[in-house]
Amino acid sequence: MPELPEVETTRRGIAPHLEGREIHEVIVRNRRLRLPVPEGLENALVGSRIGPLSRRAKYLILPIETPAGDAVPAEVAVGPALLWHLGMSGSLRIARLGDPPKKHDHVDLVMENGAILRYHDPRRFGFLDWLQEDVASDRRLVRLGPEPLSPAFDDERLFQCSRKRRLAVKPFLMDNAVVVGVGNIYAAEALFLAGIDPRRAAGQISRERYVRLTAAIREVLSAAITQGGTTLRDFVSGTGEPGYFAQRLNVYGRDGEPCRRCGRELRLVTLGQRASVFCPTCQT
């Protein structure tokens, strides 16, 4: 599944090709995504411009600037932005006129300069939808925790959120109400850097260790974004390039292999129905 670094890498890759561009055509090949593609979307978007792209957690937000006075179909609830989620296997890439669509290329946004934003999703667990309210008040975004690379996320907040929590620290970090975008891969890697056993109860970890963990989360996510994300199965960036962070993974997916620090065999456990690999020597 694309996690925060993959989605941020996608945003950075597609933004220069879309921002300020006019939508010339919308092609919907398959409406049956996790949420059906809104009827009439093809007509509603034509002639509009795309504003500065942003990201909230794993959601991409494309502001749509509709020309004043243009009529839009009554069946389309036009909001101020298009909300896009990549689901389990989705990707957004930049194509050009003449590039033939692949089997699972479901939606194209064609710009006036010939650039195409192409949505590919074999499992169809992703979706695109109109935001019917202001971005900040959308029901899918309003309850999300802080962004892990923003000033709103710090060790004091993480420590306070953890108090009296019996939940293991790894699924605690993956709770989007605590902090967004720290998925399975990056939670495992951050806990390794901080030297914390992922099985430990979140409420039993000291303030000092949460200081190290907060720094580790920022370090891991920043490095992953710099490296273009982690290529797992379907993911590539918005320009079609693979991510290279997988070459730096210390524990994720390395069950039974030697720890890069101490050489001891890495162990696999299940936490919150997710596989988790850790070093029993380096993580306590």
Residues comprising the binding site for DNA? 104, 123, 165
From the candidates 21, 56, 58, 209, give the one annotated as an active-site residue. 58
**Contacts (Cβ under 8 Å, ≥6 apart) of 210:** 155, 158, 159, 162
CA-based R_g, the chain, Å: 21
Residue ranges of the alpha helices (H) in the chain? 4-18, 41-45, 155-162, 169-173, 184-194, 207-226
Residue 130: what are its φ and ψ, rounded to 5°?
-75, 135
Q: Which residue do the tokens 């320009």 mark? A: 239
247 CA to centre of own chain:
20
Active site residue 3: yes
> Is 274 in the active site?
yes
CB 84 within 8 A of CB 125: no
Find out whether 131 and 82 touch, Cβ atoms under 8 Å.
yes
Give binding residues as ranges.
Answer: 104, 123, 165
Q: How far is CA 76 from CA 24, 28, 43, 73, 246, in A?
A: 18, 15, 9, 6, 41
For residues 32 and 125, what is the distance between their CA atoms, to the nearest angstrom?
Answer: 9
Please pick, among 3, 6, 8, 147, the residue that the annotation labels catalytic.
Answer: 3
Catalytic residue numbers, as ranges? 2-3, 58, 274
